[in-house]
Amino acid sequence: MKYLDEYRDAEAAHRFAREIARITTRPWAIMEICGGQTHAIVKFGIDELLPKEVTLIHGPGCPVCVTSLEMIDKALDIAARPEVIFCSFGDMLRVPGSTTDLLAVKAAGGDVRIVYSPMDALKLAGPNPGKEVVFFGVGFETTAPATAMAVRQAAHEGLKNFSMLVSHVLVPPAIESLLSAPDCRVQGFLAAGHVCAVMGYEEYLPIAARHRVPIVVTGFEPLDILHGILMVLRQLETGRAEVENQYTRAVRKQGNLPARQLIREVFRVVPRKWRGIGQIAQSGLGLNDDYKAFDAEIKFGVAELRVEEPSECLSGLVLQGKLKPRECPAFGSRCTPEHPLGATMVSSEGACAAYYRYRREPAPAAAG
Amino acid sequence: MLSQMCLAIPGKITSISGDEGLMRVGKIDFGGIQKEANLACVPEAKVGDYVIVHVGFAISRLEEAEANEVFEYLRQMEELSELQPVGPDDPSSGGPDRSAGAV
């Protein structure tokens, strides 16, 4: 397939890997932000092509994984109500809340439906006037234009029985938060290509300058990722800390202006809790005052719900790159995709699920 | 793969329908699988173009002219490396003193 197969060429991948080995003179730790990139790295064994000096740290860019326990509990509360049709991306159904998950709510008779797009949820509101249709709006900047469009369209149609539980998160404040932690090991970033396709990459310029870290906007195919790693390493090895764009075929500096306009019209920036990490200031999108009537937290009176997170799941450390999935004592034993302790084992973009699927053999240390 | 929220792959626009503007919709072919996508945010996209789609929403049109950049980089990189053979142990290839944890 065009734009796909050529970026998976093994021979070209090895040529990139040889160049990476040639220019690398010392240990470096690079974080890929996006769960989609983590998935590709583990699936194609990209990390295994790199010299031992280069460590890839898997970042928090999986929206399913970072949706707070509190928000999942709010979703469960709303989804269990008899008048509600609760619509969600399929990835969210098996994410464990405090006591249950959406799949169990569905099995117990709740009307929980998997949708591909927020627009599909919107289409259910008209034909079901006696029901409250609620869409669970999770995701990074990539899904925000679609969510914004659905809300805008609901307002345009004057729908009274449609609302959204919004849990959108933003990448740049998360990078800022990681870099501000005293024990941060990350020396360079692969920024998420599709987030930047929407938002552009100007907001990364002050982060790169302030923290002296190279940030390279990177695509999702194996050659893109190797190219991005090489660009970060070239900067690190020569003392530069700039924002560069590897993924030029999809990302412009300004991003997608109509999409950004939609986001601005519907959302405002809010503080957001991240599962396993805690609250990060200005790191989420919430509906602004003009669209408050579509806020499911207000409509269903769950805005004040507060939930503390339990401790056995170490996904917070995994999401911050402080622990590899296989180093978790529960990995593959008490925590599997069938019985997950945390969201990183649920989502296909979650680091734990990717390791479980492609790297299940125990780490050497655990084998003896 | 298409059921996932974020694992977006490029798809080819095979037809465009709907109103101009916000409800502009296209049929997109993802390697044989057909899906509909909203094209409101890629007003410049035409039939035959490739777009990146997230949750039913095209967020970027791929630039044909930029698509070979990765391979061009690879070619130039190898030409350069033939001119300046520098080994990983070469002490002259200096870098910044930024050991792990210094950030």
Residue A116 within a domain: yes
Residue A123 within a domain: yes
Task: Flag if A91 and B5 touch (Cβ within 8 Å).
Answer: yes
Residue B103 within a domain: no
Task: Return the pLDDT at B76.
Answer: 87
Mutation site, A53, A117, A151, A260, interface B, largest B CB count within 10 A: A117
Distance to chain A for B82, nearest Cα, Å:
11
- Asked if A88 and A114 sit in the same domain, the reply is yes
Number of domains in chain A: 2
- Asked if A267 and A151 sit in the same domain, the reply is yes
- Asked if A147 and A9 sit in the same domain, the reply is no
3-state secondary structure A197-209: HHHCCHHHHHHHH
Residue B4: which pLDDT band, with cuts at 50, 70 and 90? low
Residue A142 maps to which CATH number? Answer: 3.40.50.11740
- Asked if A153 and A267 sit in the same domain, the reply is yes
CA distance A197 to A249: 10
Task: Please check whether residue A202 is in contact with residue A254, taking contact to mean a CB–CB distance below 8 angstroms.
Answer: yes
Residue A43 within a domain: yes
- Asked if A137 and A183 sit in the same domain, the reply is no
Task: Flag if B101 and A91 touch (Cβ within 8 Å).
Answer: no
Residue A116: which pLDDT band, with cuts at 50, 70 and 90? very high
* Domain end call among A245, A272, A290: A245
Task: Flag if B41 and A21 touch (Cβ within 8 Å).
Answer: no
Task: Return the pLDDT at A368.
Answer: 33
Task: Flag if B103 and A186 touch (Cβ within 8 Å).
Answer: yes
Of the partner residues B60, B87, B93, the one whose CB lies closest to the CB of residue A250 = B60
Residue A359 within a domain: no
- Asked if A123 and A202 sit in the same domain, the reply is no
Q: Which domain holds residue A203?
A: 5-62+171-245
Of the partner residues A22, A26, A143, the one whose CB lies closest to the CB of residue B54 = A143
Task: Flag if A146 and B38 touch (Cβ within 8 Å).
Answer: yes
Distance to chain A for B11, nearest Cα, Å:
9
Please give the average per-residue pLDDT across B87-93, as a whole number: 43
pTM of this prediction? 0.88
CA distances from A333 to A76, A312, A317 (A): 26, 13, 18
CB contacts < 8 A (A, B): 185
Which segments of chain A are extended strands (E)? Answer: 28-34, 54-61, 84-88, 111-114, 132-139, 162-169, 188-192, 215-218, 243-245, 267-274, 278-287
Closest to A254 (Cα-Cα) out of B41, B53, B50:
B41
Of the partner residues A149, A236, A249, the one whose CB lies closest to the CB of residue B95 = A236
Please give the average per-residue pLDDT across A260-266, as a whole number: 97
Task: Flag if A3 and B59 touch (Cβ within 8 Å).
Answer: no
Task: Flag if A36 and B77 touch (Cβ within 8 Å).
Answer: no
Distance to chain A for B83, nearest Cα, Å:
14
Chain B hits for A239, CB-CB cut-off 8 Å, are 95-96
CA distance A56 to A351: 12
Query: Which bin fits B72, alpha (ψ -120 to 50), beta or left (φ > 0)?
Result: alpha
Number of domains in chain B: 1
- Asked if A78 and A163 sit in the same domain, the reply is yes
Residue B91 within a domain: no
What string of DSSP letters covers A153-172? HHHHHT-SSEEEEEEEE-HH
> Which residues, including other chains, have CB under 8 Å from residue A253's CB and lie 6 or more apart?
A200, A201, A202, A245
Task: Return the pLDDT at A283.
Answer: 97
- Asked if A230 and A263 sit in the same domain, the reply is no
Of the partner residues B6, B31, B93, the one whose CB lies closest to the CB of residue A142 = B6
Of the partner residues B9, B35, B54, the one whose CB lies closest to the CB of residue A4 = B9
Closest to A64 (Cα-Cα) out of A338, A364, A328, A319:
A319
Task: Flag if B88 and A197 touch (Cβ within 8 Å).
Answer: no
The pLDDT tens digits for A126-175 are: 999 999 999 999 999 999 999 999 999 999 999 999 999 999 999 999 99
Alpha helices by DSSP H, A1-62: 10-23, 35-44
Task: Return the pLDDT at A319.
Answer: 80
Between A283 and A311, residue with greater pLDDT? A283
Residue B8: which pLDDT band, with cuts at 50, 70 and 90? confident
Residue A346 within a domain: no
Of the partner residues B42, B66, B102, the one whose CB lies closest to the CB of residue A249 = B66
Residue B37 maps to which CATH number? Answer: 2.30.30.140
Q: Which residue of B has its CA nearest to A262?
A: B41
CA distance A259 to A148: 9
Separation of first and last alpha carbons in chain B: 36
Task: Flag if B86 and A4 touch (Cβ within 8 Å).
Answer: no
Most confident of A5-19, A89-103, A162-176: A162-176
Task: Flag if A143 and B41 touch (Cβ within 8 Å).
Answer: no
Residue B11 within a domain: yes
Task: Return the pLDDT at A316.
Answer: 82
The pLDDT tens digits for A239-259 are: 999 999 999 999 999 999 999
